[in-house]
Amino acid sequence: MKPVNQKAWFLVLPVLVLVAISAVIPLMMVVNFSVQEKASNGQFFWMGTKWYETVLHDEKFWGALFRSLSFSAIILAIQIPLGIFIALNMPRKGWGVPASLILMSLPLLIPWYVVGMIWQMFGRVDIGLLGVMLKDFGYNYVGDPVDAWGTLILMDVWHWTSLVALLSYAGLVSIPDAYYQAARIDGASKWAVFRYIQLPKLGRVLTIAVLLRFMDSLMIFAEPFRVTGGDPAFLSIELEQKSEELGWASAMSIIFFLIILAISWVFYAVMTREDADVAKPESAS
Amino acid sequence: MSRGKLSWLVPVIYILFLLTPIYWLVSMSFKTNAEITGGFTLFPEAFTLDNYAKVFGDPKWRGVFFNSIFYVLLNTIISIAVALPAAYAFSRYKFFGDKHLFFWLLTNRMAPAAVFALPFFQLYYKVGLFDTHIAVALAHCLFNVPLAVWILEGFMSGVPREIDETAYVDGHSFPSFFTRIFMPLIASGIGVAAFFCFMFSWVEYLIADTLTRSAATPITSKMRAVFEQQGGTDWGVLAAAGTLTIIPGAIVIWFVRNYIAKGFALGRV
Amino acid sequence: MARIDLDRIRHAYGPNPKSEADFALRLVNQAFDDGGAYALLGPSGCGKTSLLNIISGLVTPSQGRVRFNGDDVTNLPTEKRNIAQVFQFPVIYDSMTVRENLAFPLRNRGVKQAEANQRVDEVLGMIGLSGIAGRKARGLTADVKQKISLGRGLVRSDVNAILFDEPLTVIDPQMKWQLRAQLRELHKRFGYTMVYVTHDQTEALTFASKVVVMYEGEIVQIGAPEELFERPSHTFVGYFIGSPGMNVIPTTLDGASMRLGAYSAPLPVAPRLRGKPKLEMGVRPEYVRIGAQGIPATITRVEDAGRFRIVRAMVQGHSITAISPEGDELSADPHITFDPKGVHLYADSWRVDLTVEAAS
């Protein structure tokens, strides 16, 4: 059991200071701006919740939020099963292991701006491989919003599926052989093996993956801005474009942040509750 | 565990899918702008190294590459240095508020960069650190430190406490024990954490761009400038610069490939 | 339950074995009786787990055949051999309840719900888990989980054999003997053929009626625990069994006696040996006497083990361990003799049978 030692706070102090400065102060600043308005003489004065009300009543805000959530839902629906499927089929032994791990990690290591740029070039109907191939089908992400969405989704899948696959792979390789052997002895079908042995082990890993991907997909700023130059209006882009109106932007930031905080709390609660289950073993009477 | 004989096809097809846009970028980097915009060629016909020559020859390009690498390294060092004692505390001790602190730390990892961009800008401007490498390095700590603490705590918990106690019995002071005995034991954990710090800081765009103007700007800022310049986009140079941004990542992952494999096996996830 | 025959089994894990050293199992030719309780005992790497896996079908041997009740099952996959295996750590399905865990093998084979439930209840009673049938398997202690693993094996009524691969490894010491006792109980009541792999001699000697000692890919001795103790067929058996193990000292032959320097140990009959084997004398510490007569010895260490003392001594350059009952005086000028009952001759590590019938 871990001993209690309040002096451990000294060890944690550097982290606390660093993160607090990076997080708390800016956050307070944003909250500050969100309840003030700049008058023409440069002075700030108290506005109360006016900005929040404005944002929450703004149709465009809800539209952008809805679009962001739909985008998240779509890519999660693609990336999670796809990532798991790839992980299930990745080699476990031999040279294929480091080769596939390295190659699959590549998209994750490219600066986000460059990812957007790659896909912008890739999808252009004049100079891009994808664009040229699909040109005859009427594909053009510049003018057509459906094509734009499709390209963004494809880009995100290309960029991030590897994260899900690698996390799932880590979960899968930690399953000892004995489980598979016992399943053979029990006469279990491949589906039963997946459902009762692999999926439960993946559960914890997937929660992390879903959380990370959900957060990131709500706030991808660089990539869609690059690919389509600001269209369709995603939530993050609204923020950028309205930054002159500090109060409005700040209120929206806070609302945005609270949504994310609420969702992470839910995920975290689910994750730690599962851990608590395992930590307290009971013996049979 | 039985898998189909063709299961290797799945990762192969997926990897081909991943490599195709990258191939396109690389092939563009070896073409002249004339060839790129002229007709459509699958493979560079007039193979040229001009684009790379332009990038390597231009001190501004070299400068931004240096900037990126510099603040990323700074960030990795600071994040790990700060995270090590904290992770040790979380791993070995119970103290007032420890669970809540840990959770709060993790939530910062989820913080949306867009929300913090503007306040960061104002904050670092006020303290006179605007447009410096250290500013970007510190700003990225918001995201990397929680991650590093999380990863390191996991690896540290795998080292039995008896080792600590034996070291104290043998007469080590805490710093001596930590640097000479403990750190070598969690070397792969440090490797994994450093890798993730490097990775995140290297790829992040918004904050790095916001906090810099000319002295410490990352590569991606310059790329955007070139992209949006009037008078035609210099596709070749952009492709070359883009390709060069992939290389550090590839090198780093090549070096840590064994640590990653070991990290997986230890089942931290 | 079935009789298991291992017919000239040899196994190498690599693709092209070149020498004996490449073989994990050198030669195993052995029958396990129907209803017997066997322990496969040996150090790490001796091949016992490989042998177990060959019986269960998880490994197909490079050479030789495996037979259940006379039927050749060598190429039959594990799921068709009707065996149950309990692994080193509990293998259970976390997301199911105890009852569902036990029912799993039956449901996979299409057994109807009602029949399955009946059988599961029976087995729950056998292993004493009826009280927690409805509990989720996840949060239970290691020993309960192992019992569930065992139960999953017992639930199929046509099971040929139950195989155990060091099943008590993760169990707390105080639960170990309880589980062992329960396994013995199960065996007595139901007569399963059980094969139990372990490197712990206490486990082997208390669980099995017949212990199979393995060393470097071969079976070196099979017998009841007492046999292995009194008449070890191989120097390894002598060393491995008993604590402390048997003393093994190089010796020379002089007609019908073994010589240790000036000392002569008489043998019942003069052994006839082929060639020039390495000769060793084996005698357990329990049969080494310290007194005034015999070979001069220097005592190097005495360890108090409660009811007796372990005496380590040097005799003519060899170290010998003796067991001395408590209360016995150790003289200042100690001498060592050997009780002839406990003295054995080993040629090339194998025991030479010196009964009068064997010699004639």
- The CATH code for residues C4-238 is 3.40.50.300
Q: Mean pLDDT across chain B, nearest whole number?
A: 84
Residue B150 contacts A where some CB pair is shorter than 8 Å: no
CB C232 within 8 A of CB C281: no
CB A22 within 8 A of CB B139: yes
CA dihedral angle for residue B82, residue B83, residue B89, residue B91, rounded to 10 degrees? -170
pLDDT in tens, B75-87: 999 999 999 999 9
Contact between chains at B112 and A126 (C-beta distance less than 8 A): no
**Which residues on B lie below 8 Å from A44 (Cβ)?**
none
> Which domains are assigned to chain B?
1-48 (no CATH), 51-265 (1.10.3720.10)
Nearest by CB to residue B257, choosing from A98, A126, A190, is A98
Taking residues B241-261, report their average pLDDT.
Answer: 83
**Which residues on B lie below 8 Å from A156 (Cβ)?**
none
Q: Distance between CA atoms of C48 and B120, rounded to whole angstroms?
A: 64
Contact between chains at A192 and C149 (C-beta distance less than 8 A): no
User: Searching chain B, which residue's CA lies closest to the CA of residue A166?
Assistant: B264
Name the pLDDT band for B181 (thresholds 50, 70, 90): confident
Distance from CA of A285 to the nearest CA of B (A): 31
Task: Write out the CATH class of domain C244-359.
Answer: mainly beta
- Residues with Cβ < 8 Å from A156, sequence gap 6 or more? A75, A79, A217, A220, A223
* Structural element, H or E, at residue C84: strand C83-86
Contact between chains at C139 and A176 (C-beta distance less than 8 A): no
Taking residues B104-121, report their average pLDDT.
Answer: 76
pLDDT tens, N- to C-terminus, chain A (285 residues): 678 878 778 888 888 888 887 788 888 877 877 777 665 555 666 777 777 777 777 777 777 777 777 888 888 899 999 999 999 999 887 788 888 888 998 999 999 889 988 888 888 878 788 888 887 777 777 777 788 888 888 999 999 999 889 888 888 887 888 888 888 888 888 888 888 888 887 877 787 778 777 777 776 544 444 444 444 445 455 555 554 566 666 777 777 778 777 877 777 777 666 555 444 343 333
What is residue C309's DSSP assignment?
E
Cis check for the bond before C250: say yes or no (omega within 30 of 0).
no
Give me the interface pTM, i.e. the ipTM: 0.84
Taking residues B255-269, report their average pLDDT.
Answer: 62
Q: Which stretches of chain C drop beneath a pLDDT of 50? A: 357, 359-360
Nearest by CB to residue B145, choosing from A15, A89, A204, is A15
Q: Kind of pairing, strands C279-283 and C247-250?
A: antiparallel
Q: Distance between CA atoms of A137 and A149, rounded to whole angstroms?
A: 16
Contact between chains at A12 and B40 (C-beta distance less than 8 A): no
Distance from CA of C163 to the nearest CA of A (A): 11
Nearest by CB to residue A11, choosing from B89, B142, B257, is B89
Q: What are phi and psi of C198, to 5 degrees?
A: -160, 160
Nearest by CB to residue A185, choosing from C83, C93, C142, is C83
Residue C133 contacts A where some CB pair is shorter than 8 Å: no
Distance from CA of A189 to the nearest CA of C (A): 8
Look at residue A42 in the predicted model and tell me its pLDDT.
57
SS3 content of chain B, % helix, strand, coil (to 5): 75, 0, 25
Q: Distance between CA atoms of C56 and A182, rounded to whole angstroms?
A: 11
* Structural element, H or E, at residue B105: helix B98-109
**Per-residue pLDDT at B106 exceeds 50:** yes
Find tokens 């510049």 and name the residue: A142
What type of residue is C24? A
Nearest by CB to residue A184, choosing from C79, C94, C153, is C79
Q: Which two tokens stand for residue B233?
A: 């986009």
Look at residue A226 in the predicted model and tell me its pLDDT.
42
Distance from CA of B192 to the nearest CA of A (A): 13
**Which residues on C lie below 8 Å from A196 (Cβ)?**
93, 95-96, 104
| Cβ count near B140 (within 10 Å) | 27
- Residues with Cβ < 8 Å from A81, sequence gap 6 or more? none
Per cent of chain B over pLDDT 70 is: 94
Q: Distance between CA atoms of C182 and B128, rounded to whole angstroms?
A: 75
**Per-residue pLDDT at B16 exceeds 80:** yes
Residue A91 contacts B where some CB pair is shorter than 8 Å: yes
Residue A249 contacts B where some CB pair is shorter than 8 Å: yes
* Structural element, H or E, at residue C281: strand C279-283
The full set of domain ranges for chain A reads 47-264
User: Searching chain A, which residue's CA lies closest to the CA of residue C162?
Assistant: A185
Question: How far from chain centre, in Å, is Cα C59?
Answer: 21
Question: How far from chain centre, in Å, is Cα C42?
Answer: 6
Q: Distance between CA atoms of B174 and C122, rounded to whole angstroms?
A: 58
> Is residue C34 classed as helix, strand or coil in its secondary structure?
coil
**Per-residue pLDDT at B268 exceeds 50:** no
Select A47-264's CATH number: 3.90.550.10, 1.10.3720.10, 1.20.1050.10, 3.40.630.30.
1.10.3720.10
Chain A neighbours (≥3 Cβ pairs under 8 A) are B, C
Ranges in chain C annotated CATH 3.40.50.300: 4-238
> Is residue C290 classed as helix, strand or coil in its secondary structure?
strand
Nearest by CB to residue A171, choosing from B11, B78, B269, is B269
> Which of C18, C186, C8 has the alpha carbon at shortest distance from C86?
C186
Contact between chains at A102 and B28 (C-beta distance less than 8 A): no
List residues of A whose CB lies inside 8 A of any C CB. 176, 178-179, 181-182, 184-189, 192, 196-197, 200, 277-278, 280-285
What is the reported pTM?
A: 0.76
Radius of gyration of chain B (CA): 23
Look at residue A239 in the predicted model and tell me its pLDDT.
53
